[in-house]
Amino acid sequence: MFQFTIRQLVTVPITLLLVVTATFFVLRLTGDPATLYLDVTATPEQIETLRRQLGLDKTLIVQYGWFLTDILTLDFGRSLQFQAPALDIVVSRLGATFELIGTALVLALVLGLIGGLVSAIYQDRWLDMAISTFAVAGQSMPSFWLGILLVQLFALNLGWLPTSGTGGIEHLILPAITLAAFIAPNLILITRTAVLEASTDQYVTTARAKGLKNGYILLCHVLPNALNPIISFFGLQMGRLVGGSVVTETIFAWPGIGRLMIGAVYQRDVPVVVATVTVTCLAIILANLLADLLLALVDPRINLE
């Protein structure tokens, strides 16, 4: 496992290099940051001055060389909007994003496991059909639409919760539910399928023949052996979850890196965009590595070496 971890960590810089390179060229080829950032009333002299300050008066290859040199020292440049180091701004927003994603993950895990277990226990009955129908419908529901509906119902109509912003736990409820609904329906269906498949194995038949209670068999024999696809699902969904947090943070004005990146893209704040993409990519890579390690710990049959 140690050698596997080292091999995976060695490839991280290569992945990050490809990501930041693609981000650099896409941002440079979609418009001049100096022209887009300044007001429409800016004079040509002001635009040219900003271009020199940002190094945009050099050739694209020279800009890329300076860009890589700065990245190697973790210097992403200064934000045009905040006039501060871009990486410091991104790091200051990480706490809010981790709080939102962490809460949504716990909520999705609870709903997914309980819903999947109940659906598997009452297979082909009305409760199974109701949960499965809810999960399928949830898969096709856009997160931005669900977020708007939740705001309309619980914030505007009932007045129970705030519409946006941060503060107490009441500000976290609606964003966490919206983001959890992004993956919970899939988790319900995966848990149901995994539990049903594990229930047909020989060791379950043996446990029943010994007279063990169904609840004990389900929790101590079936569920542990059904965790592999669930853990794999979480690892694969981290990128999708981060993408969902961008939409959720925008809807609820949550001050995380997703909302920061959207604002930076609109403002053509290249240093902030690159720093945000790099940090997000690193988080996804580490999350997938953690999922692989958890799989090896849960199932001794998996040999990562």
Model pLDDT for residues 29-85, shown as the tens digit of each residue: 766 666 666 666 667 776 677 677 666 667 778 778 877 887 778 777 777 777 788
β-partners of residue 78 are 85
pLDDT value at position 33? 66
Q: Which residue has the higher pLDDT, 178 or 43?
A: 178
Cα separation of 270 and 37, whole Å?
10
What are the b/e assignments for 281-305, b being 16+ CB within 10 Å?
A: bebbbebbbebbbbbeeeeeeeeee
| 3-state SS assignment for residue 177 | helix
Q: Which residue has the higher pLDDT, 164 or 184?
A: 184
Model pLDDT for residues 276-289, shown as the tens digit of each residue: 888 888 888 887 77
Residue 209 burial (C-beta neighbours within 10 Å; 0-12, 13-18, 19+): exposed
What average pLDDT does the segment 234-241 reach?
A: 73
Secondary structure E strands in the chain: none
CATH 1.10.3720.10 positions along the chain are 86-298
pLDDT value at position 282? 82
Q: Which residue has the higher pLDDT, 298 or 149?
A: 149
pLDDT value at position 269? 77
pLDDT value at position 61? 80
Model pLDDT for residues 132-156, shown as the tens digit of each residue: 888 888 877 777 788 888 888 888 8
**Looking at the domain that runs over 86-298, which CATH code has it been given?**
1.10.3720.10
- The total of other beta-carbon atoms located within 10 Å of residue 223's CB is 19
Residue keyed to tokens 């990480």: 94
Task: Report residue 255: phi and psi, to 5°.
Answer: -80, 60
